[in-house]
Structure formats: structure tokens, C-alpha cells
């Protein structure tokens, strides 16, 4: 059926409004059923309902402005690293409150812009069904004039000019939202320098640094690590008391995992030599976009990132065998001390986490 069939009956007559059944014609084809009867909304019939809808739309735009104000205020009242009304600075609690309040503010701001637009369209914008024949567009003046006439008529019918309350609140909501984005930009920097190239493990350059279990900080003996097990580890001494000013940052960079493979299964001798009798330590931070790589398939010795399924082969120096990551997990060189505890002997050989700038991206 072509578009012409929708606007004219086969015999050339105009379709009738309200005819909804499709009737077969004797000579083939179907009678154009026309449009269903137009249903008027409450706001089309009752000026009070129209006024109420207008106030609701404006109210939603104003709620959006309030959401933006909450976002801006939260940005200064609940900072993770500085002043925080509800928690001590540089703690997980401070990060939590900062994320919560700025998130709520932004969600309210964006939700009510969308809700206002939908309510406006559903209750106040003209909703008459219109059919028009498709025709070839040309750039002749009459066509241009007709097109601009349609736009002017559309604006007129939308009633924008008659609703200054909605226009003022909408302009306010749409103007303050981008301003809110400027506040986070204002606190960007300073540049990271070479901070991304070092982690807390760098202390091992001076003297071997014990590897401890994450959270309870107990050291690990080589005999504790059996084939198939995985340990989530941190460097000894990385506590909040010792690193008040950058505790979270150091934890995020130093997170590592310990696994053990049968040396006979190793495909990468250099990686094996950086471990101790098959015990290997790798950064836990995915080289794709930095999720914690914490899923370990003990049969295949594959480590999986739950975010986008990058898979790293532990027997082959944590090389990427699947997924969007582009380089292996950096490996921590380890050995054991006199008491049999596992220690790191150096920092990771390259920056942990996502690749950046000129960091090599070969798999
Ligand atoms: S962050 Fe690990 S695969 Fe994307």
C-alpha cells in the first residue's frame, strides 16, 4: 500500500473520520478506514484543567532547578577529600555521602526536565492527528514559504507564546543544569605527574615488603597458597593510620591477587621467574577501565573481569585472551623472607589499570 492509499479512497473520494473497519472492495484493494475519532483531553475542554496542567509542568521545571541546586550544594557540603558534613574526610563514608547527595541532585534535575516535557506534550501540546501527502521537495520559493509557514503555525499551535510560566521555568531549568557541570570541572587537576607510575609496593625497592591479606592484614606463608586458591592482598603497612592523606588512592592502586599454578603449566617463563614456586601476584585492577578482576577459574587459571568479561591467562603472564582489555595485568615480583612469608621485592613494572597516553596497548 502506498502513502496515497492512506489519504484517498480508491475511487478518489476523501476518507471519512471515525471509520475504523478495513473493508475489502469488490474490485480489489481496501477502503481507506480514515482516522479514529479525535478524543479531547480534559485540558482541551476545561480551562481550569488547562491551567492546572500548565502549573504542573512549570512546577516540574522548578523541581528540576531545585535538583540542580541540591547537586551544587552537595558538591561543596559533602566532598570526599575535604569538608564533609556527615563523615570524616578521606574515608569511604565521605565518598558514600558525596556520591549519594550529588547523585540524588543530578537525578532529580534530569528526571523532572524529562517529566515536565512529557507532561507538557501529553496535556497541553496540540494532539490532533494530521495526514499529509508526501511529495517531492524542491527549493523553490513557494515551497520554502510553505515550510516556514508550517513552522510558524506549529509554534503558534503549541501555545508556547501563550504560556510564559512554562517558558520561564523551562529556560531556568535548562540554563542552570549546564552551570552545575562547571563546578566539578573547576576542581579538576592538578595533573597527576608520575603518580600513576608508582604504587605503595614501591617501598619494596628499599627492603622486601610483606604481602598481607586484604582487610585483616595478616601475612601469608607460601605454604598457605595452594593450587586453585586465590588471595586478595595488600602491602603490609597500608593502613588508614599510616596514610591518612591518600589512603583510598593508595589502596585503589595497590590491590593485587595471589594465585598458584603448577610450574609445569606455565606458558611464560619470565612471568614464572617473577613468582615463587608457581605462586604469582598480579594487579587486581583491570587494564580495560579499572574494575577489580576478582573471578578466578581454578581449572583453567583464567581471571575474569566481571565488568566487560576481559579474561586474563595467569599461566601466560596474565595475557589478555578475551575481551576489551588491551594489555596484561601488571605482575608483582615476589619471593619469601626468612620466616617463609611471601614478600614483594619491587613495584609493578608498569602503571596499573587502564592504559593511558603512550602506554603500550598490545595484547
Ligand atoms: S573493566 Fe574489565 S573488562 Fe572492562
Query: In ligand 1, which atom is closest to the CA atom of 286?
Result: 2
CB of 295 sitting under 6 A from ligand 1: no
- Asked if residue 2 belongs to a domain, the reply is no
Query: In ligand 1, which atom is closest to the CA atom of 310?
Result: 3
- Taking 70 as the threshold, does the pLDDT of residue 363 lie above it? no
CB of 104 sitting under 6 A from ligand 1: no
Over residues 231-239, the mean pLDDT reads: 94
Rounded Cα distance, 308 and 329, in Å: 15
Q: How far is the CA of 307 from the centre of ligand 1 (A)?
A: 5
CB of 115 sitting under 6 A from ligand 1: no
Q: How far is the CA of 287 from the centre of ligand 1 (A)?
A: 7
Match 482516522 to its residue by C-alpha cell: 35
Q: How far is the CA of 306 from the centre of ligand 1 (A)?
A: 7
Max CA pair span of the chain? 101
275-298 per-position pLDDT tens digit: 999 999 999 999 999 999 989 998
- Taking 80 as the threshold, does the pLDDT of residue 150 lie above it? yes
83-100 per-position pLDDT tens digit: 888 888 888 889 899 999
258 and 311, same domain (yes or no): yes
- Strands of the sheet containing 331-332, edge to edge, are 331-332, 279-283, 256-260, 230-235, 209-213, 342-344, 334-336
Rounded Cα distance, 148 and 101, in Å: 46
Rounded Cα distance, 316 and 304, in Å: 14
Decide which of 186, 211, 241 is a domain's last residue. 186
- Taking 60 as the threshold, does the pLDDT of residue 7 lie above it? no
What backbone phi and psi angles, to 5 degrees, belong to 362?
Answer: -75, 145
CB of 110 sitting under 6 A from ligand 1: no
Sequence-separated (6 or more) residues with CB below 8 Å from residue 192:
none
C-alpha cell at 283: 594487579
Rounded Cα distance, 196 and 354, in Å: 10
Q: How far is the CA of 352 from the centre of ligand 1 (A)?
A: 13
Decide which of 146, 161, 186 is a domain's last residue. 186
Over residues 286-313, the mean pLDDT reads: 94
- Asked if residue 326 belongs to a domain, the reply is yes
Task: Tell me 292's DSSP state.
Answer: B
302 and 266, same domain (yes or no): yes
Over residues 323-344, the mean pLDDT reads: 95
Rounded Cα distance, 323 and 2, in Å: 47
333 and 282, same domain (yes or no): yes
Rounded Cα distance, 254 and 250, in Å: 6
CB of 329 sitting under 6 A from ligand 1: no
- Number of domains present in the structure of the chain: 2
181 and 54, same domain (yes or no): yes
Sequence-separated (6 or more) residues with CB below 8 Å from residue 53:
43, 119, 123, 124
pLDDT for the residue 60: 97
pTM of the model: 0.58
Of the ranges 109-123, 170-184, 333-347, which one carries the lowest mean pLDDT score? 170-184
For a ligand 1 pocket test, name from 252, 291, 295 the mutation site with the most ligand atoms within 8 angstroms of its C-beta.
291
Task: Residue 271: give its domain's CATH number.
Answer: 2.102.10.10
Over residues 228-242, the mean pLDDT reads: 92
CB of 294 sitting under 6 A from ligand 1: no
Across the chain, mean pLDDT equals: 87
Residue 72 and residue 37 in contact, taking contact as beta carbons nearer than 8 Å = no
- Asked if residue 162 belongs to a domain, the reply is yes
Q: How far is the CA of 325 from the centre of ligand 1 (A)?
A: 6
172 and 199, same domain (yes or no): no
- Asked if residue 151 belongs to a domain, the reply is yes
- Asked if residue 147 belongs to a domain, the reply is yes
- Taking 50 as the threshold, does the pLDDT of residue 260 lie above it? yes
Sequence-separated (6 or more) residues with CB below 8 Å from residue 156:
none
What is the extent of the structural domain holding 258? Answer: 195-344
Burial 242-270 (b: 16+ CB within 10 A, else e): ebeeebbebbbbbbbbbbbbeeeebebee
CB of 325 sitting under 6 A from ligand 1: yes
Decide which of 140, 169, 186 is a domain's last residue. 186
216 and 134, same domain (yes or no): no
159-214 per-position pLDDT tens digit: 778 888 999 999 999 999 888 888 888 778 778 788 888 999 999 999 999 999 99
Query: In ligand 1, which atom is closest to the CA atom of 324?
Result: 3
313 and 255, same domain (yes or no): yes
Rounded Cα distance, 44 and 37, in Å: 15
CB atoms near residue 159 (< 10 Å): 15
pLDDT band with cut points at 50, 70 and 90 for residue 5:
very low
pLDDT band with cut points at 50, 70 and 90 for residue 128:
confident
pLDDT band with cut points at 50, 70 and 90 for residue 13:
low
What backbone phi and psi angles, to 5 degrees, belong to 115?
Answer: -65, -40
165 and 200, same domain (yes or no): no
- Asked if residue 158 belongs to a domain, the reply is yes
Q: How far is the CA of 110 from the centre of ligand 1 (A)?
A: 28
CB of 288 sitting under 6 A from ligand 1: yes
219 and 331, same domain (yes or no): yes
Residue 282 and residue 314 in contact, taking contact as beta carbons nearer than 8 Å = yes
pLDDT band with cut points at 50, 70 and 90 for residue 25:
low
pLDDT for the residue 19: 47
- Asked if residue 318 belongs to a domain, the reply is yes
Verify cis geometry, omega within 30 degrees of 0, for the bond prior to 333.
Answer: no
168 and 225, same domain (yes or no): no
212 and 271, same domain (yes or no): yes
- Asked if residue 357 belongs to a domain, the reply is no
pLDDT for the residue 4: 42
162 and 213, same domain (yes or no): no
CB of 289 sitting under 6 A from ligand 1: yes
Residue 167 and residue 155 in contact, taking contact as beta carbons nearer than 8 Å = no
What is the distance of C-alpha 153 from the center of its chain?
40
Amino acid at each position: 500500500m502506498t502513502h496515497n492509499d492512506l489519504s484517498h479512497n480508491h475511487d478518489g473520494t476523501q476518507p471519512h473520520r471515525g471509520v475504523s473497519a478495513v473493508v475489502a472492495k469488490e474490485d480489489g484493494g481496501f477502503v481507506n478506514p480514515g482516522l479514529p475519532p479525535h478524543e479531547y483531553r480534559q485540558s482541551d475542554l476545561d480551562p481550569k484543567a488547562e491551567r492546572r496542567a500548565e502549573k504542573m509542568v512549570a512546577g516540574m521545571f522548578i523541581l528540576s532547578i531545585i535538583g540542580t541546586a541540591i547537586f551544587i550544594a552537595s558538591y561543596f557540603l559533602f566532598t570526599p577529600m575535604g569538608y564533609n558534613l556527615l563523615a570524616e574526610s578521606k574515608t569511604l563514608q565521605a565518598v558514600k555521602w558525596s556520591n549519594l547527595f550529588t547523585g540524588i541532585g543530578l537525578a532529580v534535575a534530569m528526571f523532572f526536565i524529562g517529566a515536565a516535557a512529557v507532561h507538557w506534550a501529553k496535556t497541553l501540546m496540540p494532539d490532533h492527528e494530521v495526514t499529509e501527502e508526501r511529495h517531492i521537495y524542491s527549493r523553490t520559493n513557494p515551497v520554502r514559504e510553505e515550510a516556514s509557514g508550517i513552522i510558524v503555525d506549529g509554534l503558534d499551535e503549541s501555545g508556547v507564546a501563550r504560556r510564559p510560566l512554562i517558558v520561564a521555568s523551562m529556560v531556568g531549568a535548562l540554563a542552570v543544569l549546564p552551570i552545575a557541570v562547571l563546578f566539578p570541572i573547576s576542581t579538576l587537576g592538578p595533573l597527576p605527574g608520575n603518580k600513576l607510575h608508582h604504587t605503595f609496593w614501591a617501598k619494596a625497592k628499599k627492603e622486601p615488603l610483606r604481602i598481607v591479606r586484604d582487610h585483616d592484614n595478616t601475612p601469608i606463608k607460601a605454604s598457605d597458597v595452594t593450587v586453585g586458591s586465590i588471595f586478595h592482598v595488600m602491602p603490609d603497612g597500608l593502613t588508614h593510620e599510616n596514610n591518612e592523606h591518600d589512603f583510598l588512592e593508595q589502596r585503589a592502586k595497590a590491590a593485587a591477587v595471589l594465585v598458584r599454578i603448577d610450574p609445569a603449566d606455565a606458558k611464560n617463563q619470565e612471568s614464572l621467574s617473577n613468582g615463587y614456586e608457581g605462586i604469582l601476584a598480579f594487579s587486581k585492577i583491570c587494564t580495560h577501565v579499572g574494575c577489580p578482576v576478582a573471578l578466578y577459574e581454578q581449572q583453567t587459571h583464567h581471571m575474569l573481569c566481571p565488568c566487560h568479561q576481559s579474561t586474563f591467562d595467569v599461566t601466560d603472564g596474565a595475557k589478555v585472551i578475551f575481551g576489551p582489555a588491551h594489555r596484561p595485568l601488571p605482575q608483582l615480583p615476589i619471593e619469601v623472607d626468612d620466616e617463609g612469608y611471601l614478600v614483594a621485592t619491587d613495584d609493578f613494572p608498569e602503571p596499573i589499570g587502564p592504559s593511558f597516553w603512550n602506554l603500550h596497548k598490545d595484547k
